[in-house]
Structures are given as C-alpha cells and as structure tokens.
Amino acid sequence: MIACHNLWPCIALVLGLASLTLPAHAEGQEAGTTVEARSDWQRKKCDVYRQAFAEILDHVGREGVSDAFMAQNQAFIDSGCLADVDACPETEADIEVANGLTIASMNAGAASSFSPFRCRE
C-alpha cells in the first residue's frame, strides 16, 4: 500500500472523478428524503463520494484514520448520503481523507456542504 505524505498527489488520483459534472437538469430535480426517493443527482453525488472514499483509503491507507471517522463516513454512505452524520476529522490522516473527499465531491459538482464533516460538541 502506498502512503501519501502529501495530500496533493493523492488528490490527483481522484481527480478523474471530475468528469462527473453537475447535469444541467439537476437544479430542477426535487431532492428525495429516503434512499429510494433520491434524485438522480443525489445518487450520483453519493456514488462519487463512495468511490472517492474507497480510492483515497486505498492510496492513503488506513493507518492513522480514526475508527470513529471511518464509521461515520460509512454510515453516511450506507444512508445513501442522506443521514445527518457528524464525521469529525480529528487526526492528521482523518483531515487528509476529508480534504480529498471534499475536493473530489466539489470537482464532481457537489457543494462543499454535501460532505458530512462536522465537529459539534
């Protein structure tokens, strides 16, 4: 497994997801509130996030990524990216993964607020 000590080369690995851009009709789609009722755009954003999460972990590795951060990201994906999850990046590795996921999601056309990264007390 290759460990990335610098975030930018790792991000380059997920930039291929940038070709998944916001469809012109996505703004007019009504957002679903259940996995089954999700719009095509909601599904696409979640697919990008799921794929980026797997690819980043494959390249960065899991060493240093906290169990809580891994579990919360997986819970977000398992919910169809609909759950109000607090995936709080606490370690340097968590932050590296969160940064990569945010960039991959935004390159695909999702707002930065799409990601579940929150650190509420």
Rounded to whole angstroms, how far apart are CA atoms 2 and 20?
Answer: 26
Q: Specify the pLDDT at position 87.
A: 96
Is residue 17 within 8 A of residue 48, CB to CB? The reply is: yes
Evaluated on CA atoms 57, 59, 62, 64, the torsion sign reads negative
- Say whether pTM exceeds 0.85: no
Tokens of 42: 């909601």
Rounded to whole angstroms, how far apart are CA atoms 77 and 28?
Answer: 24
Is residue 104 within 8 A of residue 14, CB to CB? The reply is: yes
Q: Specify the pLDDT at position 7.
A: 53
pLDDT in tens, the chain (121 residues): 334 455 544 454 444 444 444 444 444 445 556 667 678 888 999 999 999 999 999 988 999 999 999 999 999 999 999 989 999 999 999 999 999 999 999 999 988 789 999 998 7
